[in-house]
Amino acid sequence: MAIQNFKFSKEMPYLFTSESVSEGHPDKVADQISDGLIDHFLAFDPDSKVACETLVTTGLVCLAGEVKSNTYLDVQQIARDVVTKIGYTKSEYQFDAKSCAVISAIHEQSEDINRGVDRGNPEEQGAGDQGMMFGYATKETENFMPLALDLSHKILIELAALRREMKDITYLRPDAKAQVTIEYSDDNVPQRIDAVVVSTQHDDFDEDEAKMLAKIKSDIIEILIPRVKAQLKPELQKLFNDQIKYHINPTGKFVIGGPHGDTGLTGRKIIVDTYGGKGAHGGGAFSGKDPSKVDRSAAYATRHIAKNMVAAGVCDEILVQVSYAIGVVEPMGIYVNTYGTAKVDMTDGEIAQIVGEVFDMRPAAIERRLKLREPIYSDTAAYGHMGRKSEKKTVVFENAGKKVSKEIETFTWEKLDYVDEVKSRFGL
């Protein structure tokens, strides 16, 4: 039998996909309610310890969790205010801020947990749980985030803006998902956008389903996508082409959505919240947890490290892991993976050792460095906790007849405030 000769290309491009979900997605509704509670507890009592979970379904919000705080909150009203802000304000949604039931089963935090966290010396605060947390950064976008996830977030942010404008597209409802597939070269450089998936909830149309779907697809491709594209640098705009495969509401009609279409739970979108499947994830959710919970605070701290390391030029891509034991002050260890992109003549182990010297990873130090005892968490609960812009602003909180004004700084873990020190320590 003759043996056929095959020629193998040296270049083997590959596809990578990430997704995002809108603020009206049921799981994100739950996240935003949980973080709305966190912010109110911290605004009125910065020492509050909170772990709050939310379930949303047809006509119902259910709150549960553990709290240790010196303040009283009208949690039902806070939940309704969050649902109103998202846009569930019509009875036909079957989940309406004014008419839905709000049930609270929040109780006091376990002393068995608290005894390992609170200490006489605040600097000796123990970790609020065991586990491992990861931070990731890559130079492929301006905000050091994976491109597919960044584009997915941008699509849904613009979709929500169009919904609120009620001008160019008037039929949108709050629930939506987006997904972007990127083709990469074998040296990990984005080459083109291969596919875009957008599923958006909408009002019921009078015309037939085929005409309805054609209208939605046309509006997404001709109105939404150009608005997203206009935000990008020219080199990223070039990734859009007329060969992109668009799947717009691929299952057809999407009138029933939000908590009426699917039950939502806090903490069920941890990959959307982080890096879209790039890097790694330790498994712990963020929303509803005060910063003594290292699931949240250490994940932010490792992102802070990763972003400053790439921005400083130590590497083009990096994964940082830290791990803790509950009640123990010092982390179990710090791990670094630069994926072979390091620009310094060091092993990843040597890089990790310097990282541990530059960044104090004790829980209390993280809280102080990143200002995590402030009511900054509502902004994180939709469109990702990473890759966002840090800004200073004034926020007013009202509850049970009380009002407090807070000067806050959001997304502090996105600041490039350690670049100079990192450069110095690595001789760059």
Long-range pairs, 348-353, Cβ under 8 A, ≥24:
351/314, 351/315, 351/426
Q: Is 359 annotated as a binding residue?
A: no
For residues 316-336, one letter each, b for 16 or more C-beta atoms within 10 angstroms of the residue's C-beta and e for the rest, the string is: bbbbbbbbbeebebebeebbb
262 is in an annotated binding site: yes
177 is in an annotated binding site: yes
| Residue 268 labeled ligand binder | yes
Return the beta strands (E) in 1-157 as ranges.
Answer: 14-21, 49-57, 60-68, 101-108, 131-138
For residue 207 the two structure tokens come to 């015309």
CA angle 8, 9, 12 (to 5 degrees): 115
* SS3 of residue 135 by DSSP: strand
Q: Is 360 annotated as a binding residue?
A: no
Between CA 34 and CA 42 the distance in angstroms is: 13
Fill in the DSSP letter of residue 169.
-
Annotated binding-site residue? 175: yes
400 is in an annotated binding site: no
* 348 close to 337: Cβ distance less than 8 angstroms: yes
For residue 179, say whether it is annotated as part of any ligand binding site.
no
Task: Return the percent helix, strand and coil in the chain, to nearest 5.
Answer: 35, 25, 40
Helix axes 75-86, 26-44, angle to 10 degrees: 130
DSSP letters of 257-294? -HHHHS-EETT--HHHHTTTTSS---S---TTB-TTSH
**Is residue 285 annotated as involved in ligand binding?**
yes
* Residue 206 in marked binding region: no
- 167 belongs to an annotated ligand binding site: no
Check the annotation: does 66 bind a ligand.
Answer: yes
Q: Residue 44 annotated as binding?
A: no
Are 263 and 26 contacting, i.e. CB atoms less than 8 angstroms apart?
Answer: yes
**Is 217 annotated as contributing to ligand binding?**
no
Backbone dihedral region for residue 346 (phi beyond 0: left; psi -120 to 50: alpha; all else: beta): beta
Q: How far apart are CA 306 and CA 292, in angstroms?
A: 21
Residues that constitute the known binding site for Mg(2+): 27
Residues that constitute the known binding site: 25, 27, 53, 66, 109, 175-177, 253-254, 262, 268-269, 285, 289, 293
Residues that constitute the known binding site for L-methionine: 66, 109, 262, 293
Residues that constitute the known binding site for K(+): 53
Residues that constitute the known binding site for ATP: 25, 175-177, 253-254, 262, 268-269, 285, 289
